[in-house]
Amino acid sequence: MSKSANVLPLTLARWTAHVGEITNIEYHQSSTSFVLSSSYDCNVKLWTFKGELIGTFGQTNKWNTLDSNTYQHYRNTQAEEYQGI
C-alpha cells in the first residue's frame, strides 16, 4: 500500500448531534437536502445538509423546514450571541 492510502479525508464540518450513540442516519434529498438522525438518547432530529439543526421531533417549539427562522439551530445561535458566548 502507498502512504496516500492511509491519509484521512479533510473534515469539512463537525457538530454534536446527540448525547447518546447514534442508532440511525437517513439522508433525504428533495428540493432541499435533509439528514435525519436518531439516537439512544431517545431523540430524533432533522438537520440541513450543512449541519444546522432544524428541530427535534416532539419538542415544544414548532419548526418549519421552509422557514430557517424557526430552526432550533438558529434559536440556539441567537441565544449564544445574546449571552455573549
Q: What is the pTM of this model?
A: 0.68
How is residue 37 written as a grid cell?
438522525
Separation in Å, CA 16 to CA 12, 20, 29: 14, 10, 22
Residues 24-83 have pLDDT tens digits of 999 988 878 899 999 999 999 999 988 889 999 999 989 999 999 999 875 554 444 444
- Break the chain into its structural domains and give their ranges: 21-82
How is residue 84 written as a grid cell?
455573549
Q: How confident is the model at residue 4 (pLDDT cuts 50, 70, 90)?
A: low
Round to whole Å and give the CA distance between 19 and 82: 25
